[in-house]
Structure 1
Amino acid sequence: MARSKLAKFKEIAESALVLETGKPIFEEIKGNWHFHYFKNNHPIILEVGCGKGDYTIGMANLFPNKNFIGVDIKGSRLWKGSRLAQEQGLTNVAFLRNFIEQIPDQFAPGEISEIWITFPDPRPKKGDEKKRLTSARYLNMYESLLNPGSLIHFKTDDLDLFEYTLEILQMREAKNLKFSFDLYTSDLQHHTLGIQTTYEKRFLAEGKTIKYLQYTT
């Protein structure tokens, strides 16, 4: 039987894996993730718009000596990701329930080592450009949280969003920019770690090509 939203939100409220408004740690965590939450100084990797946390969970299994945080506003999705992390006994995972534009309230400059943007809403309407997770204002925000030389990754099936993002990065003369309009026919596959999100699997089954890029701050 499917759990109700209320039951899921109750679990999230009681879960140490999910940080959200109302929990004391939510207000205190900025600049303190390493020692207040993870209890180590391992690099922190962020997945923004993480959904169920496919990349967060997948990378946490691959790299036990790194810490991973998935960020999303949808409680039901984070419920799924936090349950999976708990079932798999992962201690290097956290989920942050918040709007992406508000994450500077939970992270200090330089606290993050790497960022993944995985299959965000393409926001195709012209008036929604500023809401795209790869718009200039979001890229500026991500870069402010990263150390110089850190990687930002982006995966999507949406051609318009990919071309839009590439245009912004090329105008900004992004460092070490690498990209492919068809990831699975390129030599960049290994950079994506063999992890596929729920949406990616669906898009591939529909015959769509996956676009990928990375650059350094």
Structure 2
Amino acid sequence: MRQRHKPWADDFLKSHRHIIIPNPAEHKGDWQSIFGNNNPIYIEIGTGKGQFITGMARQFPNCNFIGIEIEKNIIVTAGQKVADSGLENIVLIKEDAAHLREVFVDKEVSGIYLNFSDPWPKNRHEKRRLTYHTFLDLYRAILEPSGEIVFKTDNKGLFEYSLVSFSKFGMTLLEVNLDLHDLQDPYNVMTEYEEKFSAKGQSIYRCRTEFV
């Protein structure tokens, strides 16, 4: 989907460098200095407008969160949400998920969230799916031992594909939920998409997995 141009985006990026961190590769292996503590780091790949990551940061103040978004006109919206929240345990970076190893050293991340990722339904685009094996290889490198990937989507085809991809990669499935909101998990933080789809009665699929 083409994103609406925001003429104020560049100015926002320049004036909020403490929230949307420029040149993230410069902090590889030293993200704790950005937060000023040694709390565990969790990342969301494809953070969108920022509702999930700000909700998580608010719910878990003893954890640090990094939202990753490649689209400039989206990340500034998330940045405004972070600024308005006043939370200090969350920053954002404008980066491609394919470059994760340029941003984090091995075992630097405690957990990864993949929320409503682009399904890339055409077979020729399979390599772009965030649960394709080349991305899983990146996640395995930067995750600490026993670090989890939590994956949520409304797309049944992508969910089924991802379960197979996780299994082929030799990962352990800790949870497979075909109707997340029927579970009524009190700790679940909804994304903007999740609220929209749930209001229409669509099922939300979630799984938790880890590397062996």
Instruction: Please say whether Structure 1 and Structure 2 have the same fold, judged by a TM-score greater than 0.5.
Output: yes
2:124 equivalent to 1:124:
no
**TM superposition score normalised by structure 2:** 0.92
The worse-fitting range, judged by mean Cα deviation, of 199-208 and 65-74 is 199-208
Letter of the 2:149 counterpart: I
Tell me what 1:84 maps to: 81
**TM superposition score normalised by structure 1:** 0.90
In the TM superposition, residue 19 of structure 1 has moved relative to its aligned partner by: 1.9
Which of 3, 6, 17 is the matching residue for 2:19? 17
Tell me the secondary structure at the aligned position of residue 5 of structure 1. Answer: coil
Tell me what 2:202 maps to: 208
CA deviation map 1:131-175 (0-9, x unaligned): 001111111111110111111100000000000001112223322
**Alpha-carbon distance in structure 2 between the residues aligned to 1:158 and 1:144:** 27
Contact 2:153 2:205 in 1 (8 A): yes
Residue correspondence of structure 1 range 37-186 to structure 2 within 5 A:
37-186=34-183
In the TM superposition, residue 206 of structure 1 has moved relative to its aligned partner by: 2.3
**Alpha-carbon distance in structure 2 between the residues aligned to 1:82 and 1:101:** 22
Tell me what 1:34 maps to: 32
Q: Note the residue ranges of structure 1 that are not aligned, 5 or more in a row.
A: none
Contact 1:9 1:76 in 2 (8 A): no
Letter of the 2:202 counterpart: K
In the TM superposition, residue 129 of structure 1 has moved relative to its aligned partner by: 0.6
Tell me what 1:7 maps to: 8
In the TM superposition, residue 176 of structure 1 has moved relative to its aligned partner by: 4.4
Percent sequence identity over aligned pairs: 33
In the TM superposition, residue 14 of structure 1 has moved relative to its aligned partner by: 2.2
Which of 170, 192, 195 is the matching residue for 1:198? 192
**Alpha-carbon distance in structure 2 between the residues aligned to 1:90 and 1:134:** 30
Paired residues, number = 207
Tell me the secondary structure at the aligned position of residue 29 of structure 2. Answer: coil
* Superposition RMSD in Å: 1.7
CA deviation map 1:57-88 (0-9, x unaligned): 01100111110000011112211221121112
Residues 4 and 138 (structure 1), Cα distance of their counterparts in 2 relative to 1, 3 Å cut: closer
Q: Note the residue ranges of structure 2 that are not aligned, 5 or more in a row.
A: none
